[in-house]
Structure 1
């Protein structure tokens, strides 16, 4: 797999590149946001085709903020982005996911953890629709359960929330809500059976396609991001010690 490493510290980049090379990755190192964007889409390349399987993106770049770079990357290509940064607070994680990152790793990290996350996002994006629960066949399986109605073409409606499975489009009261790939997959999974508790292990297995325990923190961040974007904090209920369930909202609920 070809991997784009965006890191302004040459010593950090050299050490990480050596580790990645030993695990079979072909690494291209970009030291700035502009250099990364130029490497990502060479002159004359179609706007959605990238030569890389995964992008590792540091946020502290010399020319522009890493969040801004992530936003620009996401406008050009669907190549998965893993933010690798020392900014470990929940607000920073949520902002990174909102900008289009597929995962978020906090420095200092274990290299085994980073490698597992790289392989995980690569597996998810190598299947149609990014894998996970967002595909129309899987997510529509629960149509007809309480509070849920199937619409034309695989649309799920939960109160004021509309989830269009084939187009991966979500709206609240008719207003589109942009979600990342994993945010949509998570919401679509919970929407299969509103009111039913999904265990954390089950969610991680079906949405992240891994049983690796370290993904649990990523799940929490995605849930928080969904609550914020949909402006419905009560929509996804935390069942302490077990997992999450989707609470069917009433008309106009927030």
Structure 2
């Protein structure tokens, strides 16, 4: 699952086209034909991203964005007409993440969706920035890509290193499966999600004293994985 997107657009043809193309990319898509309906679905479904037409009748897109930003902070991409420059500026000021001007290509919109989700997921996960990460007795040197448990060096391939680095940098927090796949394999990954489980199993073989009773990489069933707090 690549995430849930809510489209708030009163033009049915455009709404249906967006829904079709986003679903083709693997997203779960919800739609609303008005600002009022969009706010209700946003409250109930808690989408990961919203695509909102600024020029909605009644409760307009700007008001929908204001309410969403106050309640959930879900990222927003605005759909705007060419003559709505002032509205675009206001939209960005009240918290929208990006905008696309009509008419637009579906490829452009999909690229904006991927970019916004990639940014927000990276912020949510907390990608490591320190040169050296220390979590319990594991040391990860990001400048040399060297890993040690106590005084024992551990050689890891690139994906194993990235997995350990991500989980150790977020010690004490549960990192959900989709966030791990996005951070380590990339937003465009369409492979078998069980790839993650295979890599976790292999990584445990490399770093755990007893892989059957893990001390470092703990499973949170139905959610993801976590590294224990310091």
Please say which structure displays the higher CA radius of gyration. 2
Could you tell me which residue of structure 1 aligns to residue 103 of structure 2? 108
The answer on 1:127 being equivalent to 2:122 is yes
**Helix, strand or coil at the partner of 2:99:** strand
CA shift, 1:89, in A, is 5.0
> 5 Å matches for 1:1-254?
1-42=3-44, 51-88=46-83, 90-128=85-123
**Helix, strand or coil at the partner of 1:41:** helix
Cα separation, 1, equivalents of 2:106 and 2:87:
22
Counterpart contact for 1:88–1:106, Cα < 8 Å: no
Counterpart contact for 1:80–1:102, Cα < 8 Å: yes
Counterpart contact for 1:124–1:131, Cα < 8 Å: no
Counterpart contact for 1:124–1:130, Cα < 8 Å: no
Cα separation, 2, equivalents of 1:31 and 1:16:
13
Instruction: Report the TM-score, using the length of structure 1 for normalisation.
Output: 0.47
Aligned residues: 131
**Helix, strand or coil at the partner of 1:127:** helix
Counterpart contact for 2:80–2:88, Cα < 8 Å: no
5+ residue gaps, structure 1: 43-49, 139-254
**Helix, strand or coil at the partner of 1:36:** helix
Counterpart contact for 2:35–2:58, Cα < 8 Å: yes
CA shift, 1:119, in A, is 0.6
Cα separation, 2, equivalents of 1:60 and 1:122:
24
Counterpart contact for 1:3–1:55, Cα < 8 Å: yes
Cα separation, 1, equivalents of 2:55 and 2:125:
28
**Helix, strand or coil at the partner of 1:62:** coil
Cα separation, 2, equivalents of 1:99 and 1:15:
27
Could you tell me which residue of structure 2 aligns to residue 168 of structure 1? none
Could you tell me which residue of structure 2 aligns to residue 235 of structure 1? none
CA shift, 1:41, in A, is 1.1
Instruction: Report the TM-score, using the length of structure 2 for normalisation.
Output: 0.51
Counterpart contact for 2:4–2:47, Cα < 8 Å: yes
RMSD: 2.7
Q: Any runs of at least 4 consecutive aligned residues in structure 1 with deviations exceeding 6 A, and if so which?
A: 135-138
CA shift, 1:26, in A, is 1.4
Can you list the C-alpha shifts for 1:145-203, whole angstroms capped at 9, x where unaligned?
Answer: xxxxxxxxxxxxxxxxxxxxxxxxxxxxxxxxxxxxxxxxxxxxxxxxxxxxxxxxxxx
